[in-house]
Amino acid sequence: MADRRPAPLDIFSKLRSATPARIFLPRAGTGLTTRATLDFQLAHAEARDAVEERLDVEALDEELSSRGLAAVRVRSAARDRRGFLLRPDLGRRLDDESRARLKSAAGDYDIAFIIAEGLSARAIARHAIPVLDRALASLDPASWKIAPIILAEQGRVALGDDIGETLGARLAAVLIGERPGLSSPDSLGVYLTYAPRIGRTDAERNCLSNIRPQGLAYDEATRKLLYLCNEARRRRLTGVALKDEAETLASEELRSIDVKN
């Protein structure tokens, strides 16, 4: 047997700082110590609570009106949380009453912002308004006709297609609570779809993910969103084609940096 020596603690702590993964956990026999076990349980409990929580539409509506922003409230066809989880198709469709209400708000809009709780109402409660504030402040009102803000209960990403089509918006930006991770119960996602209509696929959207202070910061997320909005309008599309181009541009920038160095 080869010789062994005790683990130098500084090396482990150095390694631990290289990843958010749960590494070098304290052991009790082959298992984890009580504290490490309960830490995990707490993280899972927070993620579960985030899934179960419902969006406080009232509070959000008030926040918007305090900014002078008109909002329209809608619901998907999913009646309750269980139905929402089991039937993704229902969460992608407006209920009849909501569709009627939206039709009366229809118009000629360049973009509609849709706030949907998705799988984390907590993400919406924490991050939707900060991102929306920044986005609205950066869009020139002279060239962007913005639809009333849509507040959608029990909505999935593709509900934005139904909403955008009913409203008559050329772009739909869906701010949605993402599926909670164990260490990220409040990640916000933004999905952008050009010419939204029922039947659009995910390949026809662009997505910004993990928006929260510990992930993609508000300012950076807004900068990327505006880039995508402008490009989507200019090229009249969203999705894989737009993403490829954005990545090509980015890698060309990188190559030119390589040459310079």
Partner 1 sequence: MYGTTIRGTRYSFPDLKSLMAKATPLRSGDCLAALAATSAAERVAAQMALADLPLSVFLNEALVPYEEDEVTRLILDSHDRRAFALIASLTVGEFRDWLLSDAADEESLAALTFGLTPEMAAAVSKICRNQDLILIAAKRRVVTRFRNTLGLRGRLSSRIQPNHPTDDARGVLASAIDGLLLGNGDAVIGVNPASDSPEQCYELLRLLDELRETLNIPTQSCVLAHVTTTLQLMERRAPVDLVFQSIAGTQAANSSFGIDLALLRESREAALALKRGTIGDNFMYFETGQGSALSANAHWNCDQQTLEARAYGVARIFDPLLINTVVGFIGPEYLFDGKQITRAALEDHFCGKLLGLPMGCDVCYTNHAEADQNDMDDILALLAVAGVNYVMGVPGADDVMLNYQSTSYHDVLAVRRMLNLAPAPEFAHWLTDVGLSDAHGELLAQALPASFAPLLERA
Provide the 10 A C-beta neighbour count for residue 162.
27
Q: How far is the CB of 251 from partner 1 (least distance, A)?
A: 9
In the bound state with partner 1, the residue whose beta carbon lies nearer, of 4 and 234, is 4
Of 97 and 244, the one with the shorter C-beta distance to partner 1 is: 244
Closest distance of CB 32 from partner 1, Å = 6
- 123-to-11, 16, 45, 47 alpha-carbon distances in Å: 36, 27, 16, 11
Q: CB within 8 A of 234, min separation 6: which ones?
A: none
**Least distance to partner 1 from the beta carbon of 108, Å?**
33
d(C-alpha 90, C-alpha 45), whole Å? 27
Please report how close the Cβ of residue 110 comes to partner 1 at its closest, in angstroms.
Answer: 32
The answer to whether 126 and 184 are in contact (CB under 8 A) is: no
**Nearest-angstrom CA–CA distance, 11 and 174:** 44
Q: Which residue number, 138 or 201, has a Cβ lying nearer to partner 1? A: 201
CB 87 to partner 1: min, Å: 7
Q: How far is the CB of 139 from partner 1 (least distance, A)?
A: 30
Residue 137 is classified by DSSP as H
Where is 127: in which H helix or E strand? helix 121-138
- What is the closest distance, in whole angstroms, from the C-beta atom of residue 11 to partner 1 in the complex? 5
Element (H, E) at 24: none
Please enumerate in sequence order all residues whose Cβ is within 8 A of that of 94, keeping only pairs 6 or more positions apart, or say none.
74, 75, 76, 77, 102, 159, 162, 163, 166
Q: Alpha carbon 121 to chain centroid distance?
A: 11
As a dihedral over the C-alpha atoms of residue 147, residue 60, residue 153, residue 186, rounded to 10 degrees, the angle is 110
Give contact residues for partner 1 (rule: CB under 8 A): 1-8, 11, 14-16, 18-25, 27, 30-32, 36, 40-41, 43-44, 47-48, 50-51, 85-89, 119, 179-184
Backbone angles phi, psi at 147, to 5 degrees: -70, 160
Q: Decide whether 168 or 181 has the Cβ nearer to partner 1.
A: 181
